[in-house]
Structure 1
Amino acid sequence: MRSAGYTIKNFYRCPLVYMRGVSEVVVNVLLLAITVAASTLLFSIFFNVYTQQQSRLVVEGAGDVCVARVFDVGNVSGVARFYIYNRGNVACIFDKAYIYSGSAVAGPWSVSSCRVAPQSVSLCDSSAPYRVGVVYRLTGPRGEVAEVSWPGP
């Protein structure tokens, strides 16, 4: 039986290292190019698969947003009515109302068909009770938020 006889001399005769007629510099440049191409491919596959959802969120966040302000809260038989001004360029839609009092949060209460056109004022009825000294927050299905700290009339 012959031993494999791995020595330094035999290592340099390995087909991966020793190539006939090709210089050492060319082989190193070729291996570097293959490594860069493979890592670029893996990098693009990884980030395309794992950040697709994040990419959609970035695109949605870059679009126009609702910029609304609640400037008055009316008392209609013990129920809050909100007067909202939309300063943005897109329509605002609100469907829920919350009441913040200190660290306590009450709600959500429904807000009936509250759509505020761009650069306009609208009134929105809700089922939230009218209270003094609280913070009202209106939210919408697309992330709209409008808030008012209501000290009372």
Structure 2
Amino acid sequence: MLPQGRITPRCLGLWNDTTEAARADQLHLARALARHTAGCLQLVHTGRKASSAVPWEGGQLLCPEQGRWQTVGPSALPQLPSEAPPLEISAQKLVRNREAFVRAAQRAQRMGVDALELHRAHGYLLHQFLSPLANQRSVAYGGSFENRIRFPLEVFAAVRAA
């Protein structure tokens, strides 16, 4: 979706023509090796959990010397008190992220992917919006449950429309 939404620097993505071509090659190879292989992808933005080390190197948030990038979340609240807080995602960046989900879905469709999952669990960005612990916004995308679910529903609707 977006490089900044990866959980680790080694995570795969689907954010440009290069990543689309690489994933399409892998899908075609899998289908050549196993005739009835379904191609399924999961689209995710990890929000404040992004910029973490790979699990076999501890899985904790990277420090700037390790190449840490700026993370975002519904509110400027870190996952753990010892971690640097993410930036509160702006209304403009919400639009950008929703459009990135749509572009990734369109890329997946061009590749011939059979199914997409929009990941809304494990404390990733769409899940963070649902949680009153991670989402302490007071306006359109925070507060009541109806407001907290607004961004995930906008993403679902936009991807489905695409």
Q: TM-score, with normalisation over the residues of structure 1?
A: 0.20
Question: Higher strand share goes to which structure?
Answer: 1
Determine which structure has the larger helix proportion and give its number. Answer: 2
